[in-house]
Structure 1
Amino acid sequence: MKFFSPKSLVILFVLSLVSISAHSQNQMATDSIDLFLKDKMEQLHIPGLQIAVVQHGKIVKQTHYGVANIENSVTVTDQSMFSINSCTKAFVGVAIMQLQEEGKLNINDPISKYIDDLPVAWKAVTIKQLFANISGLANIIDERENLLADTENGSWEKVKTLPMEFNTGDHFSYNQTGYVIIGKIINKVSGMHFTKFIEDRQFKVAGMKQTRFGDSNDIIPHSAGAYTTQDVVNGRWITTDEIRSSYAKFPEFFRTCTGIISTSGEIAQWIIALQNGVLLKQKTSLDVLWQPAILNNGRVGGFNKLVNGYALGWPTVTREEHPAFGPIGGMRSAFFVYPKDDLSIVVLTNLQGANPEWFIDEIAGYYIPAIKESNGFGLSPSLKKLRKELMKQHYNNALKIAESLKKSDSGFVLGENELNDFGYKLLGEKKQIEALKIFKLNVDLYPKSGNTYDSYAETLAGLGNKKEAIKNYKTAFQLNPKNTNAQQQIKKLESM
C-alpha cells in the first residue's frame, strides 16, 4: 500500500499548451518535457505553471501552460506573476551574504549583537541557526499559519513569552520567528528596510523588472492567481477533495518569510546573476550560502528524505550524486540549482499542493539522463545492483538474484520501504509486470509485513487477477487488522 491522499478533484479548467521558447536546446527534449509536465498537471490538478531552465549560464527553455484564472479561463503567459512564498527566504540569504561581504555582520554572530530586546534564552542563538531552522525558538505563527496576534508588536511580544521548544541545534523545526529577527537585523545594519534592500541590491541588479513583494491585498498585473487543495486538520496538512481559491496576507515585517511574486524567467535571471558573481562578489560566498547547518548530533536536518538539509534560506538536497540547492515555497513553487551539473530548474505553479520539488529531478533528467528515475537515480546502491541484474533477466527470478547478490556482498541490503517505493515507481512508468515482480520479492523477503501483501494485491487487481488479489488482501488484513484499505478492496473485488 502506498501512503498518499486520494485526489479525486472534480473541476473543469483549460490546460493550454503554449508555444515553446525558441531557446529550447533540442526539439526532442522540449517535446518530452512538455508532455511530462502536461501529464503532471493533469495528475495533480495544477491550473497553471511556468518553467525556466538554465544550463551553462543561459536560459535554454522558458515556457508556460494552463490557466492563471480558472473562473475566467485566463491563460498563463511568460509575464504571469506567481507567488513564490518561502522561496523568498533564498533572497534573504543572499542579502545577508551581501552584508557579510561588506563586513557589516557575520552569520556566526549571536543575534543579541544586533537586537536588544531578547529573552535570555535567545541571546546566544546565531544568525546561521535562525536561517537553518535549528534555533529552538517558538514560532510566531500558529498551526494554521496565522500570526500570534493582530499586530506586528503584539506578535513579537507574544512569541518572546513562549518557552524554547528544544535546545538550540538539537533538531530541525521550520520556524518563521527566526526570519522576522533576520529582517530586523537587515533593517539595522543596512540602514534601510529589508524589502528595499532586496529590491535595490537584487531585483534591480538582476534585471527583474516585474518581480515585487506583495500578497492577496495587492493588485498584481498579470497575476497567476492562487488556488489550493490543502487544509489543516488536527495540526497536520492534508489534501482535500476540492480545489478552491486561496487568500494570503503577508504583513511587511513578515516578508523575510514569504512575499515575493515573480516569473520563472526572472527567477532564472536571478540565478544566473547569483552564479556569475553579480550579486555576490567573493568566490567563497556561494559555498557559505549553500552550506547546510549541522545539528548537535553531527547530521543535517530538513523537511524530508529529499529536501534533507537547510542552509542560509536555501533548503538543500544533500546527496552524493547530483546534489542540489532547492528553495521551496507554499507547496506550489520551487527551483533547484545543480551546481555540479551547471543546471537549474525553476517551476512556479498557482496551486498549493502541487509540490513541484518532487518532480523537478525528473525534469533535470531530460538534460542529465543519469538523474532520471527510469535510469535508477535515487535508488540505494543495493537496489541499483538488483535493478541492473533484474533488467538482464527481464525481472524474472528476483528472489534468486537477490539471494545471490547477498551471498557475494555482505553489505547488500534491501529495505522493505525502498522496495515498495521502487515498485510504485515502476507502476508510474506503466511497467506493471515488472512492478508485480518487485512486490512479490518484497512479500518473499518480508512475509510478516501486511503492507507488502497490500501492494502486491493492488498490482494483481490492476492486472485483472481478482482471485489472487483477494487472497493477498486477506493476508494483508490478517497481518494488520487496522488495514481498512484491505477490507474495502476485498469487498469491492468480491462484489464484482
Structure 2
Amino acid sequence: MRHTLRRFALVALASCTGVALLTGADTRKPATEWLARPSEAARMARVEAGLAPVLIQGEAPINMTLERWMELYKIPGLSIAVFNKHALVWAKGYGVMQAGGEAPVTPETLFQAASISKPVTALAAMHHAEARKWSLDANINDSLVSWKLPENDFTKTEKVTLRRLLSHSAGTTVHGFPGYNVAGPMPTVEQVLDGVTPANTAPVRVDIVPGTKTRYSGGGTTIVQLMLMNQLKKPFPQIMRETVLAPLGLKHSTYEQPLPPDLASRAASGTLASGVSVEGQWHVYPEMGAAGLWTTPSDLSRIAIEVSKARAGKSTRVVSRAMAKQMLTKQSESFGLGFQLEGDADRFGHGGSNEGFQCNLTAFADSGSGVAIMTNSDNGYLLLDRLAASVAAEYGWKSYVPRPELPFVRVDLYARMKGTDAALAWYRSMKGNGAAGKLFPGDLNNLGYRLLREGQKTDAVKVFQANVELYPEDANVHDSLGEGYMEAGQKAEAISSYKKSLQLDSKNTNAVKMLEKLGAKP
C-alpha cells in the first residue's frame, strides 16, 4: 500500500548560404536561456556548479552537473527563473520537452504548475473580495449558487469561509486530484465536488470543525473556484486571465483545461518516475483553481514579484497593500491566504505536484527575490531543493534555510549511485546508530515502489523484505511486501504477507481486496 518573460535572448543565426536564403531554410535554434545583463551569465554558471555534492560514507564527495542529476533521476526537462530585487535576472531551460524527444526546453516552454495554481487563484479571489466588498469570514454557502456545501454537525457553530478555504483551515476533505486522461470524459466542477461519475475523487465535505486545524485541501480551493464562477458568471480561465494573468502581462500562462492546440505545441510532456511519458502527454484538471495552471518559471516569478511589490505598497495591479499583507500573514498554522509561509514572515511560496510534473516557487517579500523551478517528471521533487539551495547561496538570501535531506531521499540516492544492497546497508547502519527516531517505514517503501515501477522486481522484494524485518509490527509494510511478491509471481508468499497485514490491522481493506483477488480467504 503506497504512502505516500517579455524579453528573451535573440537566437544567433548561423551563416546562410545563398542556396539557403533562396530556399527559405530556417537555421534558427530555440534560445534556451535569457539574461537580464551579461554579468548574470557568471552567476548562472556558479549556480549550476554549486549543487551540493553526493556524500557517501567512506568516499570523497561526488560533485555532479545539473544535467547529470537530471539523468540520474530520469528528469527529461527542467526550467528555472531567478529574480532578485523585484526583477527577473535570468531564466534557462535544460533538457527536452518530452522523454526521448529532441525539442529543447526553453524559458517559454509551458509546464503544469499543479498546486502553485492555488495561491494564484487566491490572488484573484482577494482582488474580487476587495472590489466587491465580499466578506472573507462569511459562510461560503452565501456566495455559492449552482452547488452548496452540505452543512452538518461540524458546521453548526463554525462556518466554512473564504479565509479558511484559502488557508486550508476550513475542515474540507480531498487533499489533491489525480487528473483525467486527455481522451476520457471530464466532470463538471459540481460533479467533482459531489464525487459523482465521471469524477474520480471522493465528495468534498466537512469532517472537522472549521477553524480548528490546518489540513491541506485541494477540495477547498475547488469550492473557491466555483464561488468565483457563480459570482462573476464567467468561465474560470477567463476570470483568471482578466484578473491576474493579463494585468501582469503573463503571456505564457493559462488556466484553460484541456490545453488549446495552439498552446499544446509549446507544452512539456509529463513523465512518470520510471522515465516513461504520461499517456496522452499530460492529465487534464477540471479542478483548475487547485491544479489547472499552465505557465513558465518566469511568469511565476512575475507573480511573486507583484505580491512582494504590493506588500511594499509599490503596486496595486491585483491587490492592495493591505490585502497583500493579509495574504502573507499566517491565517492558519502554515498558510497565509493561498501562499505557504515558512520560517520568517518574509518567506512565501508553494510547491506543486501533478501527474508527471513537479515544481516549486520560493520567494522573499522583503527583498523581492526568489526562484521558480519547474520539471516535467514525477522525480522532479528530488532535485528542486538542491537547485534552489544553490541559487540562494549564490545570491546571499540569508532568509533561505535549506530543508534537511530526508532519509527516504538519501536511501533512494544511495540505491541509484551504489545499488540496492548498499542502500539497505546504509539504512540499517542509520537505524542501528541512534537515528531510528528520524527513520520511518515509508522511507524504504518509497524505494521499493520506485524499483517495482521500473521493473526491478527482485530488488523491490528485497527492499520490502528489509522493511518488514526492520518494522515487523507495521501493517502497511507487510501489505507492501504482499504487493511485491504478487508482482514477482510469488502467490503463496503474497497471501501470507497480506494475511499478516490484516492480522495487524483488521481495517486494512486493501489486504482483504488483494486476498480475494488471489483466491484466498481473509
Instruction: Report the TM-score when normalising by structure 2.
Output: 0.60
SS at match of 2:97: strand
1:303 match: none
1:312 match: 337
Aligned residue pair count: 382
2:321 match: 283
**Deviation at residue 185 of structure 1 after TM alignment:** 2.0
Q: For 1:92 and 1:447, how far apart are their aligned partners in 2?
A: 41
Q: For 2:400 and 2:329, how far apart are their aligned partners in 1?
A: 25
State how 1:75-474 maps to structure 2 within 5 Å: 75-115=104-144, 117-118=147-148, 119-121=150-152, 124-139=159-174, 150-158=187-195, 164-215=206-257, 218-221=260-263, 222-229=265-272, 240=274, 244-245=278-279, 246-251=281-286, 254-276=287-309, 277-294=315-332, 300=333, 309-316=334-341, 318-320=342-344, 323-330=347-354, 332-355=358-381, 357-359=384-386, 361-362=388-389, 363-368=391-396, 370=398
Q: For 1:449 and 1:192, how far apart are their aligned partners in 2?
A: 49
Q: Kindly indicate whether the alpha-carbon contact (under 8 Å) linking 2:237 and 2:255 is maintained by their aligned counterparts in 1.
A: yes
1:234 match: none
Q: For 1:77 and 1:149, how far apart are their aligned partners in 2?
A: 30
SS at match of 1:344: strand
- Whichever residue aligns with residue 320 of structure 2, its letter is Q
Q: Kindly indicate whether the alpha-carbon contact (under 8 Å) linking 1:25 and 1:61 is maintained by their aligned counterparts in 2.
A: no
**Deviation at residue 103 of structure 1 after TM alignment:** 4.1
CA-to-partner distance for each residue in 1:7-40, whole Å, 9 max, x for gaps?
Answer: xxxxxxxxx9945635365444211223444343
Q: For 1:195 and 1:155, how far apart are their aligned partners in 2?
A: 17
1:44 match: 73
Change (3 A) 1:163 1:340: closer
CA-to-partner distance for each residue in 1:272-327, whole Å, 9 max, x for gaps?
Answer: 33333243352222221122332xxxxx1xxxxxxxx23322223x2149633334
Q: Kindly indicate whether the alpha-carbon contact (under 8 Å) linking 2:243 and 2:318 is maintained by their aligned counterparts in 1.
A: no
- Whichever residue aligns with residue 335 of structure 1, its letter is L
SS at match of 1:87: helix
Compare 359-368 and 187-196 and name the one that shifted more. 187-196
Q: For 1:423 and 1:339, how far apart are their aligned partners in 2?
A: 32
**Deviation at residue 93 of structure 1 after TM alignment:** 0.7
- Whichever residue aligns with residue 43 of structure 2, its letter is A
Gaps of 5+ in 2: 5-29, 52-65, 197-201, 310-314, 418-427, 445-466, 479-522
Q: For 2:469 and 2:254, how far apart are their aligned partners in 1?
A: 57
Q: For 2:177 and 2:106, how far apart are their aligned partners in 1?
A: 35
CA-to-partner distance for each residue in 1:84-109, whole Å, 9 max, x for gaps?
Answer: 12211121111111122224312222
**Deviation at residue 176 of structure 1 after TM alignment:** 2.8
**Deviation at residue 156 of structure 1 after TM alignment:** 3.7
CA-to-partner distance for each residue in 1:385-418, whole Å, 9 max, x for gaps?
Answer: xxxxxxxxxxxxxxxxxxxxxxxxxxxxxxxx99
Percent of paired sites with the same residue: 15
SS at match of 2:208: coil
Gaps of 5+ in 1: 6-15, 230-238, 295-299, 301-308, 380-416, 431-438, 456-475, 485-496
- Whichever residue aligns with residue 243 of structure 2, its letter is R
Change (3 A) 1:227 1:315: same
**Deviation at residue 54 of structure 1 after TM alignment:** 1.0
Q: Kindly indicate whether the alpha-carbon contact (under 8 Å) linking 2:346 and 2:364 is maintained by their aligned counterparts in 1.
A: yes
Answer 1 or 2: which has greater strand percent.
1
- Whichever residue aligns with residue 232 of structure 2, its letter is S
Compare 21-30 and 65-74 and name the one that shifted more. 21-30
Change (3 A) 1:178 1:445: closer
**Deviation at residue 242 of structure 1 after TM alignment:** 5.3
Q: For 1:142 and 1:56, how far apart are their aligned partners in 2?
A: 35
Change (3 A) 1:478 1:198: closer
Compare 124-133 and 146-155 and name the one that shifted more. 146-155
Change (3 A) 1:27 1:284: same
Q: For 2:232 and 2:345, how far apart are their aligned partners in 1?
A: 38
- Whichever residue aligns with residue 324 of structure 2, its letter is L
Q: For 2:438 and 2:326, how far apart are their aligned partners in 1?
A: 44
1:32 match: 46
Change (3 A) 1:153 1:448: closer
Change (3 A) 1:320 1:421: farther
Q: Kindly indicate whether the alpha-carbon contact (under 8 Å) linking 1:99 and 1:190 is maintained by their aligned counterparts in 2.
A: no
SS at match of 1:53: strand
Q: For 1:131 and 1:448, how far apart are their aligned partners in 2?
A: 33
Q: For 1:340 and 1:447, how far apart are their aligned partners in 2?
A: 39
**Deviation at residue 44 of structure 1 after TM alignment:** 2.3
- Whichever residue aligns with residue 31 of structure 1, its letter is A
Instruction: Report the TM-score when normalising by structure 1.
Output: 0.63
Q: For 1:285 and 1:448, how far apart are their aligned partners in 2?
A: 41
- Whichever residue aligns with residue 241 of structure 2, its letter is E
Change (3 A) 1:46 1:215: farther
Q: Kindly indicate whether the alpha-carbon contact (under 8 Å) linking 2:228 and 2:236 is maintained by their aligned counterparts in 1.
A: yes
1:21 to 35, 38, 48: 35
RMSD across aligned positions (CA): 4.7
- Whichever residue aligns with residue 183 of structure 1, its letter is Q
SS at match of 1:185: helix
Q: For 2:90 and 2:115, how far apart are their aligned partners in 1?
A: 24
Change (3 A) 1:367 1:449: closer
